[in-house]
Structure 1
Amino acid sequence: YMGVIYLLTSRNPSLGPAGAKASWKERFSALRGGLWEALAVFMLSIGGLFAGWFTPTEAGAVGAGGVLLVSFIEKRINWEKLKKSLVDTTRTTAMIMLMLAGAVIFGRFMAISRVPFELANWVAGLPLPPFAIMGMVLFIYLILGCFIDALALVLLTIPIFYPVVVGTLGYDPIWFGVIVVLVVAMGVITPPVGMNVYIIKGVAPDIPLETIFKGIWPFLGALILCIILLMIFPGIATFLPNLLK
């Protein structure tokens, strides 16, 4: 995305006009407002994760607690704002948990009906190379991503495609997860629906929908390029996770 923005603004500077120049004194002054607090929270959560003090889930909780503590110390939050945050978090969590509950039931149904296993056996018998079958799977994700919420799509389809891609085709599960995230990201900005495009329209109602759809094409191309690179060089997706071993 950074490369796309750089190329677009290089060709048409009016898309990203330069801001006012700031002196070095102003730059250092701007760093004082929250830099050290952010670094402290980052070192606590990520440093504790690498040190083995807690799991990734616990690291997220520690980071959230650290941010909350800093907000109270610097008086950037009051009880009214905290109450609103808790209500919003509860609503979001309830939505996610309902999706997870549905996914668990759906996964149980898949296990009993043996649909993934039959699909895996059928795929194994196809006279096609693994990358061609993987391309078919990604195309299905792209089409479904145009109409279904990203989280719901992942939760509903992983029980079906995971045994095929990882078990039958032998692809790395981390690589498959990264690929799925990128393809779903393509789906939510791709016509004819493109759910995220309508979200942007709600945030910026004065911008015509046609203009927003035109603006997504360079970023869609960047996502396609990323997927092609990951297909050719799968080690890109597994390099950092392998460092944790």
Structure 2
Amino acid sequence: MDLFTVSLTLAGLLAVFLGGSLWIGISLFSVGSFGLILFTDLPAGSILANAIWNNTSGSAMLALPMFIWMGEILFRSKISQNLFNGLAPWMDSIPGRLIHVNVFACTFFAAVSGSSAATTATVGKITVPELSARGYDYNMSIGSLAGAGTLGFLIPPSMMMLVYGIIGDVSIGKLFIGGLLPGVLIASLFSVYTVTRCLINPALAPANKDKYTWGQRVRALPQIAPVAIMIGVVLGSIYTGWATPTEAGVVGVAGSLFFAAITKSLNWRVFKDSLMGSVKTTAMIMLIVMGAAYLSVVVGYLGITRHLSQYVTSLGLSPYLLIFILSITYMGMGCLIDGFSMIVMTTPIVLPLIKAAGFDPIWFGVYIVMMIELAQVTPPVGFNLFVISSLNNDDILAIAKSSAPFFLLLCLATALITIFPEVVLVLPNKMIGAY
């Protein structure tokens, strides 16, 4: 049977399994098994065992549950509420006022949670009712939240970058640091847009009746301090080479437990719920990673990756045209499947093409995470849209319409890092460690 038929058969099986609501991880395992049994005489069981062990036994994988647990603790403690209270006085004099709290709170929280859903849910529970009560434009409020909430995947530590680094055998420490400046770039674009819109139409952000003094602003800084300290310790330890991402994850968990305790929001229920939440999320991600690892090995045995790389290379596409085609493909995938699946299903196939085109794997890791950010605000499977809808019982399409300007800004940011890859690579190239 020719390779095109084999590829079409596997793609069709995957579409049937996913369309039938079979778990993504089980679907990947099933397609891999069918591929080996139907088209080879290789022992499927032995290959399955080796693929799972090789992709889950490394120390880097231990960082995943650590960062997830850190985010779960912060999600359930008073640290997020204190972050809002600490930022609000500083935003009062900027056009757009408290709408900027959405952007900055998501940026800060993303830097310690690693999860887009946790960032959106945590910040949204606090800011959306507050902004509505103060008369802020509702569409701007939820649109900025949907857009800024995606930063949970980009600003380190990032669960998506961890998975990409493990599958693509790319330095996780350099990936984390590489996402820092693009994250700041996106947050800046969001804030500039908010300032511009509110200068044109001041009614979008009514003036606050309470005027904050500089003394009140300074006294609010201790409420921001826990998150700022954790960002500095976690990212600083990775950047300087003092700790691996795994060790930094453990430091982050210890720090989140410490700050939750001193804010008197750590009790047995919070501890147990955060631990169980991290176990469930880690198990879900690991199942997908193992299934994808198995399928990627099968695809390699069948020669699909090699022949696809040779075919695309023979087309003579320019590097930027290749990125444009991939961008359209990822946007289409983002309408149908979640971000983790996008990474694990495409990285083994696409990464060799990217390297052949002359792109840096660190840069591509940041790029693919930004593609997933776009998917987070794209119906019908835009997860941030579902999170906001669950908070306010709003229509998904209405939320998507409100977030459309921020979607376009994410597209602009992606174009900028493609034209100027130094935005991603300048900090990783200066790293002392290379974990």
Which residue number corresponds to residue 245 of structure 2? 56
Which residue number corresponds to residue 218 of structure 1? 405
Tell me, yes or no, if structure 1 residue 178 matches structure 2 residue 366: yes
Which structure exhibits the higher relative contact order, with contacts defined as CA atoms closer than 8 Å and separated by 6 or more residues?
Answer: 2
Using the TM superposition, name which of 232-241 and 72-81 deviates more.
Answer: 72-81
Report the Cα offset of residue 173 of structure 1. Answer: 0.7
Cα distance in 1 for residues equivalent to 2:395 and 2:240 = 50
Tell me, yes or no, if structure 1 residue 202 matches structure 2 residue 384: no
Give yes or no for contact 2:240–2:431 (8 Å, CA) kept in 1. Answer: no
Report the Cα offset of residue 142 of structure 1. Answer: 0.9
Tell me, yes or no, if structure 1 residue 99 matches structure 2 residue 291: no
Cα distance in 2 for residues equivalent to 1:187 and 1:74 = 35
Cα distance in 2 for residues equivalent to 1:102 and 1:126 = 31
Find the residue that maps to 2:260 and give its secondary structure.
Answer: helix
Give yes or no for contact 2:338–2:381 (8 Å, CA) kept in 1. Answer: no
Give yes or no for contact 2:198–2:204 (8 Å, CA) kept in 1. Answer: yes
Tell me, yes or no, if structure 1 residue 234 matches structure 2 residue 421: yes
Find the residue that maps to 1:128 and give its secondary structure.
Answer: coil
Cα distance in 1 for residues equivalent to 2:238 and 2:385 = 36
Aligned ranges for residues 53-92 of structure 1 at < 5 Å? 53-92=242-281
Tell me, yes or no, if structure 1 residue 28 matches structure 2 residue 215: no
Cα distance in 1 for residues equivalent to 2:420 and 2:239 = 27
Provide the TM-score with structure 2 as the length reference.
0.52
Matched positions, count: 242
Report the Cα offset of residue 183 of structure 1. Answer: 1.7
Using the TM superposition, name which of 57-66 and 116-125 deviates more.
Answer: 57-66
Q: Which amino acid aligns with 2:404?
A: W
Report the Cα offset of residue 185 of structure 1. Answer: 1.6
Report the Cα offset of residue 21 of structure 1. Answer: 1.6
Report the Cα offset of residue 188 of structure 1. Answer: 2.8
Question: CA 1:46/1:108 → structure 2, altered by over 3 Å: closer, same or farther?
Answer: same
Using the TM superposition, name which of 17-26 and 117-126 deviates more.
Answer: 17-26
Tell me, yes or no, if structure 1 residue 139 matches structure 2 residue 322: no
Question: CA 1:43/1:165 → structure 2, altered by over 3 Å: closer, same or farther?
Answer: closer
Cα distance in 2 for residues equivalent to 1:191 and 1:93 = 25
Using the TM superposition, name which of 43-52 and 122-131 deviates more.
Answer: 43-52
Give yes or no for contact 1:146–1:189 (8 Å, CA) kept in 2. Answer: no
Cα distance in 2 for residues equivalent to 1:84 and 1:233 = 43
Give yes or no for contact 2:327–2:371 (8 Å, CA) kept in 1. Answer: yes
Find the residue that maps to 2:426 and give its secondary structure.
Answer: helix
Provide the TM-score with structure 1 as the length reference.
0.89
Instruction: Summarize deviations over 1:158-204 as a string: whole Å, max 9, x none.
Output: 111011111x2121111111111112221232245534323321222
Q: Which amino acid aligns with 1:28?
A: V
RMSD: 2.1
Question: CA 1:50/1:143 → structure 2, altered by over 3 Å: closer, same or farther?
Answer: closer
Cα distance in 1 for residues equivalent to 2:230 and 2:198 = 34
Identical aligned pairs, as a percentage?
A: 34
Report the Cα offset of residue 71 of structure 1. Answer: 2.3
Task: List alignment gaps of at least 5 residues for structure 2.
Answer: 1-189
Tell me, yes or no, if structure 1 residue 153 matches structure 2 residue 153: no
Cα distance in 1 for residues equivalent to 2:263 and 2:391 = 30
Using the TM superposition, name which of 48-57 and 103-112 deviates more.
Answer: 48-57
